[in-house]
Amino acid sequence: MIWFPKKNGGNSSEESESGPSPSYPSHSQPDFNQAPADNSTNPSITAADQASGRPVPTSGTANPASGSSSVDCLSRIENVISSKDRGVVMKLYLENFKRLNQVFGYHYCQQLLSQIIQYLEEKTKHPVYRYIGVEFILILENYTQGQASALAEEILEQFDHVWKVENTDCLCSAQIGFCSYPGYADNTDEMLKYLDEAVTKAADMGPNQYACYDSVLQAVTLRKQAIAKYLQTALENQEIEVRYRPTFHTATGRFTRAEFYMRIFIQGIGMVGADEFLPIAEDSGQIRAIEYFALNQVGRCISNLILQGKEFDSVSLPISPLLFLQEDFLDEVERVMDTYKIPAGKLALEIEESTLTTAYLNINTSMQELEEMGVELILNGFGSGVSSITSILELPVHTLKFERTFIWQMETNPRSLPVIRGLLSIAEDLNLNVIAEGVETENQVSLLNSYKCPYLQGFYYSPTVTKDTLMEVIGSTLDESRQTILKEKEKMRR
């Protein structure tokens, strides 16, 4: 896939990714820029239509802030794809428009949209088709990929500057994705999907960027589709491999924690880790079944450790933020704890720090209930800077897990050292545990030990292991588990 960091030294590059791209707020979002009564005038437009991601037709001529009819757009895309002509379909997404609507109000934003649409029409000399929310489509007939790139540069340069409405300035960010035709999309639905992939890639690079859908991004898309298809039967066929990451406790010199991990082997693709397939499961709606499977596996593991008389702190399960939207999530956690007779503090759930920026109030309530059940709550990715540090004061968090890139910077960025030292001191004063993940070198171990980091996790200590191997490792010292771990490391290197 080719992507283009806009005006960043003039460099463009081509890169392949094995993992899925993070999603951007897509056309499934509600339309924040239409008056609430608009759809009531057209009874044929339902909530399902708006949630489907397909364009909602306007009745008659579009209003000045809407652009050309989306129905016309669908027809035009279908026509150009079926023709022998060449060109580019471009999609522009206004990134922070919901916030602008909340701050400035509906009428201000309608005028802003009118300005943006007028600018796009004057710049491109082509109709601007508005989709649900703040996504716009341009069909650039006879354009080459290079010409589309140059146009995207010019458009995004305008978005680097303020827009003035009613003598008030505002900044509005945009992302652009485009796909040439013919060659990739065989129909309108595919073209819309590929445009989404390109905009997602642009969003991953930051505000006011653009990306092109090409053969490499197509390979990434096909890989994601193959993984999603495999996941449909992976649980039923018991093809998900369960493993654990042992965690070392520096005070006792023993492995006293473990983190659940999954991976799958797909013919023609190879080994795929949870970091890659879980986001795909979120997109495909399979996350609930997979996460509940994982929760039961962790419950069974904890039960076995207790039956064998092992002394340990907890076994943790990283959970998707989507689980907080499941009505039966808390009931399922309670059921697992009851079924496997798990004492308070032995089951830990890891929550990504980024989750706190999405549905804070709902998550806070759920976390309070989980704490009351006796679940240890771990804030994963702490130090990534996604959420406010005040979250550790307001939420019932028991343990912080440092972002692994944060740990890696210890050896490359001296300025990270006082930050890590300071955070560890704060955590100690607040009586919070800290886990440093991604520990791989002797130097990292030495620094973290000097800062009195209580828990260390990473390949330096142990790779992921099976449940049977975990039974041998948990509660043991480095010397006692050395031979077992060396064997596991050899297996990983093969």
Residue 372 burial by Cβ neighbours in a 10 Å radius (0-12, 13-18, 19+): exposed
Given pLDDT bands bounded at 50, 70 and 90, which one contains residue 220? confident
State the pLDDT at residue 491.
83
pLDDT exceeds cutoff 90 at 374? yes
Residue 409: CB atoms within 10 A of its CB come to 17
Give the range among 197-206, 439-448, 471-480 with minimum mean pLDDT. 197-206
State the pLDDT at residue 482.
93
Residue 118 burial by Cβ neighbours in a 10 Å radius (0-12, 13-18, 19+): middle
State the pLDDT at residue 387.
55
Percent of residues in the chain assigned helix, strand, coil, to nearest 5: 45, 20, 35
From the list 80, 211, 192, the residue with the least C-alpha distance to 136 is 192
State the pLDDT at residue 405.
84
pLDDT exceeds cutoff 60 at 359? no
State the pLDDT at residue 357.
64
Percent of the chain with pLDDT over 90: 50
pLDDT exceeds cutoff 80 at 360? no
DSSP 8-state assignment for residue 62 = P
From the list 365, 381, 24, the residue with the least C-alpha distance to 205 is 24
State the pLDDT at residue 476.
96
Averaged confidence pLDDT in the chain: 83
Alpha-carbon gap, residue 140 to 88, rounded angstroms? 5
As beta bridge partners, residue 347 has: 315
Given pLDDT bands bounded at 50, 70 and 90, which one contains residue 74? confident
Q: In angstroms, how far is CA 297 from the centroid of its own chain? A: 24
Give the range among 66-75, 227-236, 448-457 with minimum mean pLDDT. 66-75
Q: Which two tokens stand for residue 378?
A: 């771990």
Alpha-carbon gap, residue 65 to 263, rounded angstroms? 48
Q: Which whole number is the average pLDDT over 243-264?
A: 96
What are the boundaries of each domain within the chain? Answer: 2-213, 224-493
From the list 134, 221, 213, the residue with the least C-alpha distance to 177 is 213
pLDDT exceeds cutoff 50 at 391? yes
State the pLDDT at residue 8.
39
The phi, psi pair for 5, rounded to 5°, reads -65, 115
State the pLDDT at residue 105.
85
**Dihedral sign of CA atoms 127, 130, 135, 137 in order:** negative
Per-residue pLDDT of 151-191, as tens digits, reads: 999 999 999 988 888 888 888 889 999 999 988 888 889 89
Q: Is 144 helix (H, G, I), strand (E, B) or coil?
A: coil
State the pLDDT at residue 57.
34
State the pLDDT at residue 69.
66
Give the range among 149-153, 233-237, 298-302, 489-493 with minimum mean pLDDT. 489-493
The overall pTM is greater than 0.85: no
Given pLDDT bands bounded at 50, 70 and 90, which one contains residue 11? very low
As beta bridge partners, residue 174 has: 94
pLDDT exceeds cutoff 70 at 97? yes
The phi, psi pair for 441, rounded to 5°, reads -125, 160
From the list 237, 295, 233, 285, the residue with the least C-alpha distance to 262 is 295
From the list 20, 4, 18, 355, the residue with the least C-alpha distance to 175 is 4
Q: Which two tokens stand for residue 140?
A: 């650039």
Alpha-carbon gap, residue 379 to 349, rounded angstroms? 9
- Say which residue the tokens 């996504």 belong to: 135
Q: Which whole number is the average pLDDT over 234-259?
A: 95
State the pLDDT at residue 34.
38
Tell me the C-alpha to C-alpha distance, in Å, between residue 302 and each of 84, 95, 224, 298.
Answer: 62, 44, 33, 6
Classified by CATH at the fold level, domain 2-213 comes out as Alpha-Beta Plaits (3.30.70)
pLDDT exceeds cutoff 60 at 66? no
The phi, psi pair for 209, rounded to 5°, reads -130, 170
* CATH architecture, domain 224-493: Alpha-Beta Barrel (3.20)
pLDDT exceeds cutoff 80 at 9? no
Alpha-carbon gap, residue 167 to 76, rounded angstroms? 37
